[in-house]
Chain A
Amino acid sequence: EVQLVESGGGLVQPGESLRLSCVGYGFTCSSYWMTWVRQAPGKGLEWVANIREDGSEKFYGDSVKGRFTISRDNAKNSVHLQMDSLRAEDTAVYYCAREPFDLWGRGTLVAVSS
């Protein structure tokens, strides 16, 4: 079955770090740009970051620029999101998606609270 599975979410305190992972099954991630989208509780969708097929280009939303780093490991069919200096407003479900957004994972919840 073609799917994306995220992991790595959890409860952390402000200022701490977390690393999310997303593994693709049933398809080759290296053929696609991959992206992270988040959704705060009860809110809409916000694009976070994406990465080119070979990892040579990475882009970020303004709200996470300088704090989050996207990477990929094509040998392991995976994409990662390193989140540093986390803030309360980063609390959200983080979805991994294959561009052009035709395949999404189930998401992983990140909660930032003291």
Chain B
Amino acid sequence: DVVLTQSPLSLPVTLGQPASISCRSSQSLAHSDGFTYLNWFHQRPGQSPRRLIYKVSNRDSGVPDRFSGSGSGSYFTLKINRVEAEDVGVYYCMQGTHWLPYTFGQGTKLEIK
């Protein structure tokens, strides 16, 4: 199974400051079809996950442009330009290139300082 390792696991951030989360894969997530199936999700306390980014860098509808995804191969990053209060929660990366099974990172908990 593909192992996704996120860092940091805890991320205290001051409002208005940038934040960055990395996701490292145990093997390349580049698929033979030319796409890289790496998603990012945000889960607020008590809510279900919401997809923010798909195929590395594509923002989902309604996701603010302060969120951006980048990376290739085995290294990926989620960046938030200026953190807002509504951004608190846990962020997960997930790979779909080498499913079965789909695998998720451990999660990164973002909190406001």
Partner-B contacts on A (CB < 8 A): 35, 37, 44-47, 50, 59, 61-62, 95, 100-102, 104-107
Chain B: CB-nearest residue to A46? B104
Tell me which residues across on chain B come within 8 A of A62, comparing CB atoms: 101
Binds A, one of B12-20, B22-30, B69-77, B92-100: B92-100
A45 B100 Cβ-Cβ under 8 A: no
User: A1 to chain B: closest CB distance in Å?
Assistant: 14
- Minimum CB distance partner of B48 in chain A: A104
Q: Is the CB of A45 within 8 A of B92?
A: yes
Evaluate contact between A102 and B54: CB separation under 8 angstroms: yes
A100 neighbours in B (Cβ, 8 Å): 39, 54, 96
Q: Known: A100-B96, A101-B41. Contact between A44 and B50, CB under 8 A? A: no
Please state if B101 and A101 are interface contacts (CB–CB under 8 Å): no
Report the Cα distance A35→B96, complex, angstroms: 13
Q: Could you tell me if B94 and A101 are in contact, using CB atoms closer than 8 angstroms?
A: yes
Verify B51–A47 contact, CB threshold 8 A: no
Contacts of A50 in B (CB 8 A): 102
The 4 closest A-B pairs by CB, nearest first: A47-B102, A45-B104, A104-B48, A44-B107
Q: Which residues of A have CB within 8 Å of B41?
A: 45, 101
One of B48, B100, B103 near A95 (C-beta < 8 A):
B48
CB distance from A39 to the nearest CB of B (A): 9
Which residues of the other chain, A, contact B94 by a CB distance below 8 angstroms?
Answer: 45, 101
A23 to B18, CA, bound (A): 39
Chain B residue at minimal CB-CB distance from A45: B104
With A100-B54, A101-B41 given, is the CB distance from A106 to B48 under 8 Å?
A: yes
Chain B residues, CB < 8 A from A46: 104
**Most central of A35, A44, A46, A61 by chain B CB within 10 Å:** A44
A107 to B51, CA, bound (A): 15
B57-80: CB near A (< 8 Å → 1, else 0) gives 000100000000000000000000
Taking CB atoms, residues of chain A closer than 8 Å to B103 are: 47
> In the assembly, what is the distance between CA of A41 and CA of B101, in Å?
21
Residues of A within 8 A of B99 (CB): 47, 59
Contacts of B106 in A (CB 8 A): 44
